[in-house]
Amino acid sequence: MDVFVDDLLSRMTVEEKIGQMHQLAPGRAGMEADWLREAVRKGEIGTMLAPGEPALLNEVQRIAVEESRLGIPLIYAHDVIHGYKTVFPIPLGLAATFNPAIVEKGSEIAAMEARSAGMRWTFAPMVDVSRDPRWGRIAESFGEDPYMNAVMGVATVRGFQKDTTSEYLNVAACAKHFVGYGAAEGGKDYNTTHVTEDQLRDVYLAPFKALADEGVASFMCAFNDINGRPMSGNRPVAVDILRDEWGYDGVMVSDWGSIAQMVPHGYCTDLKDAAGRAVEGGVDIDMESRAYATHLKELLEEGKISERDLDRSVRNILCMKWKLGLFENPYTEVGGEKFCLPSSLEASREAAVESAVLLKNDGMLPLQCKGRIAVVGPLADAPVEQLGTWCGRADEDAPVSAVEAVRAECAGKASVVFEPGLTFSRGRSEKGIAKAVRAAESADVVLFFAGEERILSGEARCRADITLPGAQKEMMKALKKTGKPIVLVVMAGRPLAVAEEIEMADAVIYAFHGGTMAGPALSDLIFGKAVPSGRLPVCLPRMAGQIPVYYNRRNTGRPAHNIVMLDDIPIGARQSTLGHTSYYLDAGDGPLYTFGYGLSYTTFEYGPVTLSSSEITSGDVLKASCEVRNTGNADAYETVQLYVRDDVGSMTRPVRELKGFRKILIPAGESRKVEFTLTSEDLKYWNIGQGFIAEPGTYTLWIAPDSASGTGVNFELI
């Protein structure tokens, strides 16, 4: 590859080099336009976000390969985030599976479908650690924990990039958004971020380092600035850390128009200045700013950038094209599409089953198909809405809604009556609620499918109020008055503040947006054909005012205790009578449900944790294990989680940190021994002035079902 690329690079003109750094999104009309084809012929375009029609893509590709001077093929790219035609749960839902194999399989299927349509580069996975559910793009993340983002991000990369039939990459993956995007101030998209050095290293950079080590083909820089420096021109992070410190040699692409956006940021005077800053900041490809195409040659002539800068970027791009096998086979088989295969739909269904989290169950679930069942709610018969954000190429005829699945499951066994109550999630008209109430009054049980439409989450879809939109709360109150048992199913792109609705329900499933097969998956869970195994990848807040609320916080000098809630304060109480600890009078200290939480249709009992040693030194391996027993009547998966705390450090440390998890099947009445290993490498953190260190001292370790449970045991690093 190096010999081939160096030879090709040596024969390229400056204009051809700049062309490789130019990415367009011409759409179908543009692909058919003479101007674009002439630009391809001249080598002025290197990559495109293009329509997935193989015949059209091949037509333009032929011009690049056969009619341009050097015959350099194009890369066609698309945002394949959680499926192409067959849609899997949103990434936040995939994280809830706590099952990397599910995530890898989903990406493998997405890659198969996308490649069969000509797409060879996707802009996923997003591994922005996300702790603010107001941020719409939390839907695209793997949640609030750095370790979870790293594990699921690596699984995604493997699924996209592996090609068992050749030495080449299947579809190039992209680690985004580099970096700190999930920390946008106020949960408002594109907003500024303020991140300390230790937070940057321990939290936000950690998943990206894992993906760089995995060999992800590309990175995408973030829209945001970080501590005052936009990421599209942030040399200290994107070059000094990513390139020089980590040794990453893949492609860095800008986000859509983000180079040009350094002008309104107030960081660059104009587009030309922005182009120069982006090159200096290590950005190889300009996505849709046209800054490089317009200004790089002029900047080169003025000596503000060097041809060596261009060569570095173009080499990265040509190497990615080589790794994709495009120089050997640049075309896509016409008529070879592999969309929505039965095996793909079954995998989507399995993922949706494992992504749903049972939060509450007062003995209602699983249901039996008998009597009369009322299905209500705006998400009950909304097959397209269940797909979630970022699925523009989805087969919108394929999704099966919840009410369709319930009817199919109960055909001939129970009467199913459907009244949505609200026609869409934001609906404020309460006219239809009366019909839903009448349906509930005549039923034995109510299935209420609530949540938010897909347009309410995703990019630029931020919400200050994260309660159920529209009149859904009013509908829940009206249903509660019927006295009938209610199973609440929440289908959403973020953690919603639904404490009041959960209190009114008899059982609650948090399903996120579950994709193409969400309906059948939920039916499987509701009627006991599958046992819930999802766990929360992000805390569920009691109310928006708690945000940010996440499990691996640092303690204060006055941790919460002796909590006195607002309604418990005596009238006329003196200021000093309530204590002085860190909590909210109206929300307490913790979230409604913590990270890692989830119920099952059985119960599990954890035995005492056993350590292989009470102390370890650098290089030693500590083994921690415990017996987990299924004490119920159903065979089920349990997600066993490992947490560690550095009890005393030269910097304050999180109260717990996830260091591992295992999802294991335990038959009813049986036990399984679960073992984890730790080394001093797992205990390192960024100490300002010293770099990554593992400090001698005592540590607490938990093996538990969630981030707030378990009995800790101690060991010492000496």
Q: Where are the domains of the chain?
A: 79-323, 347-526, 559-590, 604-717
Fold (CATH) for 79-323: TIM Barrel (3.20.20)
Give the pLDDT score at 340.
98
Average pLDDT over residues 320-333: 98
Average pLDDT over residues 514-530: 98
Average pLDDT over residues 244-268: 98
The band of 38, judged by pLDDT with boundaries at 50, 70 and 90, is: very high
Give the pLDDT score at 637.
98
The helix or strand, by DSSP H or E, that contains position 113, with its residue range, turns out to be: helix 100-116
The band of 581, judged by pLDDT with boundaries at 50, 70 and 90, is: very high
Whether 186 and 193 have beta carbons less than 8 Å apart is answered as: no
Q: Is 207 helix (H, G, I), strand (E, B) or coil?
A: helix
Give the pLDDT score at 411.
98
Helices 307-323 and 271-280 pack at an angle, to 10 degrees, of 70
Asked if 255 is an active-site residue, the reply is yes
CATH 3.90.180.10 for the 347-526 domain, yes or no: no
Chain position carrying tokens 């797909």? 387
Distance CA 220, CA 49 (A): 14
The band of 288, judged by pLDDT with boundaries at 50, 70 and 90, is: very high
For residue 678, pLDDT over 90 is answered with yes
For residue 577, pLDDT over 80 is answered with no
Average pLDDT over residues 497-520: 98
Distance CA 73, CA 57 (A): 11
The helix or strand, by DSSP H or E, that contains position 326, with its residue range, turns out to be: none
CATH of span 604-717 = 2.60.40.10
**pTM passes above 0.75:** yes
Give the pLDDT score at 162.
96
Kindly report, residue by residue over 418-476, the tens digit of the pLDDT: 999 999 999 999 999 999 999 999 999 999 999 999 999 999 999 999 999 999 999 99
Token duo for residue 385: 């809405």
Give the pLDDT score at 575.
83
Q: Nearest 5°: CA angle at 285, between 282 and 291?
A: 95
Whether 492 and 512 have beta carbons less than 8 Å apart is answered as: yes
Neighbours of 465 (CB within 10 A): 11
Distance CA 606, CA 600 (A): 15
128, 132, 255, 273: which is the annotated catalytic residue? 255
Q: Give the full edge-to-edge strand order of the sheet including 615-616.
A: 615-616, 713-717, 697-704, 636-646, 657-666
What average pLDDT does the chain have? 97
Give the pLDDT score at 16.
98
Give the pLDDT score at 579.
85
Q: Which residues contact 117 (CB under 8 A, 6 or more apart)?
A: 52, 53, 54, 84, 332, 337, 393
Give the pLDDT score at 408.
98
Radius of gyration of the chain (CA): 27
Q: Which residues contact 699 (CB under 8 A, 6 or more apart)?
A: 644, 645, 646, 647, 683, 714, 715, 716, 717
Q: Which residues contact 98 (CB under 8 A, 6 or more apart)?
A: 533, 534, 535, 537, 639, 661, 663
DSSP string, 648-692: S-SS--BS-EEEEEEEEEE-TT-EEEEEEEEEGGGG-EEETTTEE
For residue 355, pLDDT over 90 is answered with yes
Give the pLDDT score at 613.
98
